[in-house]
Each structure stands twice: as structure tokens, then as C-alpha cells.
Structure 1
Amino acid sequence: MMSYGSRFFTKALFTKSKTASSSCTALSLVRTHFASSTSLPRVRAMATDSAASSPFKKVQIQRENTTFDAYVIGKDNAPGIVVLQEWWGVDFEIKNHAQKISQFDSGYKALIPDLYRGKVGLDVAEAQHLMDGLDWQGAVKDIEASVNWLKTNGSQKVGVTGYCMGGALAIASSVLVPGVDAVVAFYGVPSPELADPVNAKSPVQAHFGELDSFVGFSDPKTGKALEEKLKASGVPHEVYIYPGVAHAFMNSSPEGIQRRKNMGMNDEDAATVELAWTRFRSWMTRFLSS
């Protein structure tokens, strides 16, 4: 059974599409667009590095009566960035993102909290099941604990970034998590019942694809509505909508590109990815540099 917090999110993600017939929900559109999960290959669950050779350090973070694993990479005492997973879990792609972020500019300490507690979806059906089962309010608490861990362990300032599901949670952190100094969200907006961006307290930069078809979650109309809410909040903000790309366009590893192609997304665009990273770097430098 999905949690109360998860219902907030899935209501936004799988609302009925106004452009489709009344019997066709966004969920069925996504499944049709991505094809049957049984036709998808099972991809690598984690980065190929062995535990001994992995550049990530595994740490345990405590919040309330719960302990969860997190993966850290980067310079000690550098500004921190919490990196939030897509619906797949802590797999090769989110680790690729975190490793890249850690090497930007003079260096960052990137931390990935394991919101699924070790589980990873290897196909669309598994990822959907894991996301439906997520305690969203608990995930926000995980983010807060991750921010606090970074600030306790040498990072004077801490940002939050995320992708898809993680993008929505990153924006939620700008509303609900004290001590967040900057947010960059990629293609995800939380339901207002979980966290209304009109109440954002941290600077927010957000990125969307013009061809994104996740109505009510990350399509261009939702991105533009987010921009209006951020204007009303009064926080510094930037919202970008990139022409010619669909959902998850930042996934540019060979495995990530193949996975998107298996889902029917053939809009690979290295220039767009580089532009988005350049804007990410500028935003985090602006708000996290001492």
C-alpha cells in the first residue's frame, strides 16, 4: 500500500491528461510510451566499481529512530550537495551525477541518501513499485538529516539537487528543510499537498524538457506554473525549458542513453546536457561559495 506522502506525489504524476480521452490516464500514457516492462532489458543495478575500488564512501546517517545508508564523494570541508535519486534508486546513473558534481569548480562534497534502503528498480514496473511505496514525508526527513550531516562534517553551506522523483523532493526541501542554501531540480515538481513551491525559502533553479509528457509533474506547463509560484515566493529562481528533449535528458552515460532509448526517448542532446550543467554550476557557485 502506498503511503500518505506517496499519494500526494502520485496524484500529481498520474493525474488525468486533459488532451487524452477520459479513460486514458497519464499513468497508462507513460506505460504505453515506455512500452511493456517485460520488454525492457535488466540494466546494471549499481556502478560496476567493486566496494574496494569505488570512489564513494558509505556512511550511515541517523534520524529519529531510523538509520539509513548514504554514499559520499568529494573533498572534505567543501560545500556540500545532497544528490537525490530518480525512481530507479541509487543506481549507476545517480552515482555518475554525484561523481561529476563532486569534481565541479574547486570541488564539492556530494552525498546520495539511499531513500529506498538498498532496493533498486531494474525495470519500469519495479521502479514504479518502489516509488509508490516511498514514505515521502520520511524522505524529506532523510534529506534534512543529510543536510545536517554535511554541515556537521565540514560543509559550511549545503545545496540539494535531484532528478525526476528526486527533483520533486529537491523542490520540497526548499519549502520544508531548514538550512538548505540552494536547490537545483531536474524535471520534477511536488504536489502542493506535500510542499507548495509558493512557500519556498531557498533559491531554486529548475530544468524541464519541452517534450516531457509527464502531465502535472514535469511537462512544460507544470514548469511554467512552478515559475509563477517561485515568483510569488520571493526567492531567487530560474526556470529553464529546453527545446527538443524529453524527460530524464540529463542521463547521458552509455547505459542511461540506452535505457532511455528502450523507453522510446531518442532525443539525446549533448549540448543541452552541457548547458544545463553550466547553469547548475553557476547557481551552486553563486549560493554555496563562502
Structure 2
Amino acid sequence: MALLNYSRVFSKTLNSKAVSRTLTPSFARLQIRSMATSEIKKIQIQRDDTTFDAYVVGKEDAPGIVVLQEWWGVDFEIKNHALKISKLDPGYKTLIPDLYRGKVGLDAAEAQHLMEGLDWQGAVKDIQASVNWLKANGSKKVGVTGYCMGGALAIASSVLVPEVDAAVAFYGVPPNELADPTNIKVPVQAHFGELDNIVGFSDVQTAKALEEKLKASGKPYEVYIYPGVTHAFMNTSPEGVERRKNLGMIDQTEADPADVAWSRFQTWMNRYLSA
């Protein structure tokens, strides 16, 4: 499957739920307000012949974690995640590379367009440059995590970026022509929702196929499937919950798996980055 077609498979599933309606102006204002935090610092990173923006927050000289965006871009939710990760004990320095170069999708149609236009190999180079920036700025070890599109890229990075020390992916698996998970070089943990219906990307069958490939790699791995929840279940902010509802992502459980997933994430990253 070509990478562009891979993006379209993902987009088609969401758009089949009639989710491409534009967000209300009040929600857009709420989004901008959520992104306003003085703790996150904007920097620029050079790689090859291009420069891209990135966002950094957390303890100096702490282990680093590159945090990879969903198909929306660098929006309020990915910044929420990076800020939360930076505060997990014993403290991390997190960095979000802006893979879309400043563009953010405010509805599913925009996000689809941005994801379809992504240079996936170029994104991996951005991730490598981000990992190297953290290691050059005080982080002895650096992990990669991501959500949705970023989850797939986190797994791809565990195959293609030798400087990565560990990875955690949330509901996203890369196509084999980008990176075969059988060839991961570092410990990988992955999280999926039982009701996720994005076939070939983050549904249960894809999660189980990933688990078999990780097993074949011989590297440490964990794969978790959370009952009764759909795609993007880590997005628990008021804005994120509203957006998931607008996308037709209706969970069928009163349990909140996000806290459990965060605990597993923390244990994994501590084990491989803080030792």
C-alpha cells in the first residue's frame, strides 16, 4: 500500500462517520486558549537543508521524549500530552517536532489533506533530528512516543532511527513499506482501543498483527488493548472529549483507560530511559 493510499484508508474510515464538519467558532477559541502555556518554549531545529519549529518543555538534563502529533498537527491536545509527560516522575524533557510546518487541521477534511501531504520519510528525518537535538542538549537517553499518525511514526522510528532508546505508540501502526515492526531495534510498547475501527491502522486485528511482529523481533515489547473504547482514547481534555464525540468516537464503558495507559507508559519509559 503506497503511503498516500495508507493515509486515505485512515481518512476514509473517519469521514465515513460524517465527521468532516467544521468545528464551531467557540470550540476553535477554546482550542487556542488551551494551547497558551508559558511553560512550552518554541525552538528551531536544523536537519539537512531545512529548518523546522519544535516545542520543548521539562527538566534540563532529564531523559528526553519526542512527542509526535496526531493527524491534526501540533494542536492543543499534543501539547497537553507533552506537558503531562514532562511532569511524570522523575521528570522528562519533551519535544514536539512540527511535522506539518505550522499547519493545523480544524476539521477532519483539513486533517486528511495534511496527512495525505505528509512526507513520511521526511518526518522520520525530523524525528531523528529531534532525538539528536535532545541528546545534544543534556538528555543521555531519548524515547519517542506518538498518537494516531504519531503512533505509527513512533514505531517507524524504533526501526529507522538508531539514536532512539525506547518507544511507546498509541493507536497507530506504520505500513510495512515505511518500516516493518519485525525489525525494531529498541523496546516498544503499544496501546489500542478494542472498538477502534480504522482497519489496517489501529483496529484490533492490526494490533494483534503488530504484537506478532514485535514478538518476532526479539526485543522487549508490550501490547495492550483496552475494552470498550475507540480511537484516540487518550484525549481526555474537555476539548479533546468534545472533538472525539464530533468524530463519532463513542466509548462503551464507564472505565477510563487513560490513567492505566499513562501508568504503563511511565513504567516503560522509566525502565528504559532512566536506568
Q: TM-score, normalised by structure 1?
A: 0.89
Which runs of structure 2 are paired with 1:16-35 in the superposition (5 Å)?
A: 27-33=11-17, 35=18
Q: Which amino acid aligns with 1:276?
A: A
Distance 1:119 1:150 in 2: 24
**Matched position secondary structure for 2:71:** coil
**Matched position secondary structure for 1:44:** helix
Q: Which amino acid aligns with 1:8?
A: A
Report the counterpart of residue 275 of structure 1 in structure 2: 260
Query: Residues 13 and 215 of structure 1 are in contact (CA less than 8 Å); yes or no, is this contact kept in structure 2?
Result: no
Report the counterpart of residue 120 of structure 1 in structure 2: 104
> Which residue of the other structure, out of 105, 122, 127, is the alignment partner of 1:143?
127
Query: Residues 102 and 108 of structure 1 are in contact (CA less than 8 Å); yes or no, is this contact kept in structure 2?
Result: yes
RMSD, aligned α-carbons: 1.8
Report the counterpart of residue 19 of structure 1 in structure 2: none
Q: Which amino acid aligns with 1:271?
A: D
Matched, 1:37 2:20: yes
Q: 1:129 to 1:13 in 2, by over 3 A?
A: closer
Distance 1:269 1:149 in 2: 41
Query: How far apart are residue 270 of structure 1 and its match?
Result: 5.8
Query: Residues 7 and 115 of structure 2 are in contact (CA less than 8 Å); yes or no, is this contact kept in structure 1?
Result: no
Report the counterpart of residue 144 of structure 2 in structure 1: 160
Matched, 1:234 2:218: yes
Query: Residues 44 and 92 of structure 1 are in contact (CA less than 8 Å); yes or no, is this contact kept in structure 2?
Result: no
Report the counterpart of residue 2 of structure 2 in structure 1: 8
Report the counterpart of residue 200 of structure 1 in structure 2: 184
Distance 2:195 2:237 in 1: 20
Q: Which amino acid aligns with 1:138?
A: G
Q: Which amino acid aligns with 2:108?
A: V
Query: How far apart are residue 9 of structure 1 and its match?
Result: 3.4
Q: 1:67 to 1:283 in 2, by over 3 A?
A: same
Which runs of structure 2 are paired with 1:155-234 in the superposition (5 Å)?
A: 155-234=139-218
**Matched position secondary structure for 2:28:** coil
Deviations 1:206-259 (A, max 9, x none): 000000000000000000000000111111000001100000000000000000
Query: Residues 41 and 123 of structure 1 are in contact (CA less than 8 Å); yes or no, is this contact kept in structure 2?
Result: no
Query: How far apart are residue 96 of structure 1 and its match?
Result: 0.2
Query: Residues 86 and 93 of structure 2 are in contact (CA less than 8 Å); yes or no, is this contact kept in structure 1?
Result: yes
Q: Which amino acid aligns with 1:68?
A: F
Number of positions where the alignment pairs a residue of Structure 1 with one of Structure 2: 272
Query: How far apart are residue 178 of structure 1 and its match?
Result: 1.1
Q: 1:93 to 1:125 in 2, by over 3 A?
A: same
Q: Which amino acid aligns with 1:129?
A: H
Distance 2:179 2:58 in 1: 30
Q: Which amino acid aligns with 1:41?
A: T
Q: Which amino acid aligns with 2:270?
A: T
Query: Residues 9 and 190 of structure 1 are in contact (CA less than 8 Å); yes or no, is this contact kept in structure 2?
Result: no
Report the counterpart of residue 94 of structure 1 in structure 2: 78
Distance 1:142 1:56 in 2: 19
Distance 1:223 1:36 in 2: 24
5+ long unaligned stretches in structure 1:
1-6, 16-25
**Matched position secondary structure for 2:80:** helix
Distance 2:132 2:142 in 1: 9
5+ long unaligned stretches in structure 2:
none
Q: TM-score, normalised by structure 2?
A: 0.94
Query: How far apart are residue 264 of structure 1 and its match?
Result: 1.2
Query: Residues 111 and 146 of structure 1 are in contact (CA less than 8 Å); yes or no, is this contact kept in structure 2?
Result: yes
Q: 1:84 to 1:28 in 2, by over 3 A?
A: closer
**Matched position secondary structure for 1:38:** coil
Distance 1:110 1:242 in 2: 26
Distance 1:166 1:50 in 2: 19
Q: 1:212 to 1:226 in 2, by over 3 A?
A: same
Distance 2:73 2:35 in 1: 18
**Matched position secondary structure for 2:159:** helix
Query: How far apart are residue 54 of structure 1 and its match?
Result: 1.9
